[in-house]
Every structure is written in structure tokens, then in C-alpha cells.
């Protein structure tokens, strides 16, 4: 069964690429991640999500990155 | 501050000149177990905080959440401002505390004196420990 892909755009004013990379490293067990970055934003595409985490992965991932930012 | 209420979601718009980014991170962190948070906007104009309840929230609960978030923002902003204003005095207190642990001048003199005595004792060498083997015994061969 195919799962949907999710794209999240993190504003570089509030999120750093190192933090997003760290979060991807920690989340790599439950999905595949593709990272792109331009001047203004960091784009993360989440693919092949394990079914049980499909509904909440986007929000949980964003919270996780924000938590890392607070402690960065 | 402007708050837009949607279904189970709040969009809070802030002036970043009033609320520093560090305070925004701090306040968001407090709510991380109860809500999903996301930051967007422009640091020079307006910061937008998207706050979505982890569980379904009634309009009243959402309003309560908004109020609590505002309070937390103020709390963090005040904390930061106090930390900034008292930075010098805190540093002075730590410096003094560390300095008080250092030995005083008299104690230092005492330590120096005792070291001098030790050096003299070494120079005297009553047991002849510092004398090289060859000097003491020549080239004698020893049988075991």
C-alpha cells in the first residue's frame, strides 16, 4: 500500500538546517526524508511513512524540530 | 498581539520587537506536550505562531490555551529581561565566590616558606641521595 508524501517548509528565520538534519537523523526509522534548502526556507519531504505514524508525523516532526531549536 | 481562532487551532501574530525570539521559543516549548506548534513570518515585522491542540479542544478550551500562551510569553520575556539586567551582578557574585576559595596572602607566604625549607633540605642532602652512583662507589663491580 502506498502512503502519501508530506512536504514541510521551515522558515530559516526560525529554524536552522543543522537542527532539521538532527531531527531527520532521529526520525529516519519511521520514514524516508528528502531535504532541500534555499535562501529562505528548508524543505523536508517525508516519504514512505510507516502506516501507524502517518497521521501525526508532520506535526510531531515540527514539534521535535522546535524542541531542538529551543535547546540549540 | 493578534489571535485568530480556527477549529482546534490558534494563529498568534506577534511583534518580534516586543517579544524576543528566545522568549517565543521558550513559551512554545512549554506547550509542546499539549499542542503542535509551528513558527513562520518575518523577524522584522511579524512572527506567526500556529498552535494546534493535540486533542480536540472546545472553543472555551482553545481560548484558555491562548490566554495561557500569552502569559507564558510574558513570563519568558520578563525572565530574559531580568537575566539581561542582572548579568553583571551574577558574574561578580560567581567571581567573588571563586576568589574566596583561593588561599589568602598569609597562607600563600606560609606555603612558599615551607617550599623553601624543603628546597634547603634537598640541597643539604644528609643521606647523600643526590650523589651519583659513580661518584659514591666509583667503578666497583658488585657481586650478588
pTM, 2 dp? 0.73
Q: A63: helix, coil or strand? A: helix
Q: Are B84 and B107 within one domain?
A: no
Q: Do A59 and B29 touch (CB under 8 A)?
A: no
For residue B95, tell me if it sits in a domain: no
Question: Cell digits for B47?
Answer: 512572527
Distance (Å, rounded) from C-alpha A33 to C-alpha A28?
7
- The pLDDT tens digits of the residues spanning B121-139 come to 667 777 777 788 887 777 6
CA distance A4 to chain B (A): 20
For residue B69, tell me if it sits in a domain: yes
How many cross-chain Cβ pairs, A to B, lie less than 8 Å apart?
Answer: 35
Alpha-carbon dihedral of residues A18, B26, B54, A7, nearest 10 degrees? -30
Mean pLDDT, each 10-residue run in order, chain A (72 residues): 83 96 93 93 92 84 95 81
For residue B76, tell me if it sits in a domain: yes
Distance (Å, rounded) from C-alpha A55 to C-alpha B22?
30
A11 to chain B: closest CA residue: B40
A39 touches chain B (CB under 8 A): no
Q: Are B119 and B58 within one domain?
A: no
Q: Do B36 and A11 touch (CB under 8 A)?
A: no
Q: Which burial class, exposed, middle or buried, applies to B27 when counting CB atoms under 10 A from its CB (0-12, 13-18, 19+)?
A: buried
For residue B93, tell me if it sits in a domain: no
Residue B132 lies in domain: 103-136
- The pLDDT tens digits of the residues spanning B72-123 come to 999 999 999 999 999 999 999 999 888 888 777 777 788 777 776 666 666 7
Distance (Å, rounded) from C-alpha B137 to C-alpha B144?
16
Q: Are B59 and B116 within one domain?
A: no
A55 touches chain B (CB under 8 A): no
Q: Where are the domains of chain A?
A: 6-71
Q: A56: helix, coil or strand? A: coil
CA distance B2 to chain A (A): 19
A7 closest CA partner among A35, A45, A37, A41:
A45
Amino acid at each position: 500500500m502506498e502512503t502519501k508524501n508530506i512536504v514541510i517548509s521551515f522558515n530559516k528565520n526560525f529554524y536552522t538546517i543543522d537542527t532539521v538534519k538532527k531531527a531527520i537523523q532521529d526520525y529516519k526509522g519511521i520514514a524516508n526524508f528528502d531535504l532541500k534548502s534555499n535562501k529562505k526556507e528548508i524543505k523536508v519531504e517525508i516519504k514512505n511513512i510507516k502506516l501507524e505514524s502517518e497521521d501525526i508525523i508532520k506535526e510531531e516532526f515540527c514539534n521535535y524540530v522546535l524542541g531542538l531549536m529551543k535547546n540549540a | 498581539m493578534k489571535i485568530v481562532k480556527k477549529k482546534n487551532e490558534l494563529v498568534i501574530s506577534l511583534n518580534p520587537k516586543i517579544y524576543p525570539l528566545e522568549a517565543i521559543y521558550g513559551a512554545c516549548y512549554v506547550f509542546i506536550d499539549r499542542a503542535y506548534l509551528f513558527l513562520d513570518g518575518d523577524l522584522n515585522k511579524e512572527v506567526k505562531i500556529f498552535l494546534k491542540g493535540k486533542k480536540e479542544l472546545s472553543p472555551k478550551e482553545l481560548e484558555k490555551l491562548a490566554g495561557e500562551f500569552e502569559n507564558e510569553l510574558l513570563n519568558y520575556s520578563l525572565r530574559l529581561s531580568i537575566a539581561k539586567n542582572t548579568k553583571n551582578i551574577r558574574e561578580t557574585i560567581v567571581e567573588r565566590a571563586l576568589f574566596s576559595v583561593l588561599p589568602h596572602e598569609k597562607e600563600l607566604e606560609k606555603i612558599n616558606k615551607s617550599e623553601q625549607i624543603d628546597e634547603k633540605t634537598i640541597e643539604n642532602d644528609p643521606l647523600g641521595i643526590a650523589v651519583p652512583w659513580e661518584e659514591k662507589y666509583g667503578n666497583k663491580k658488585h657481586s650478588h
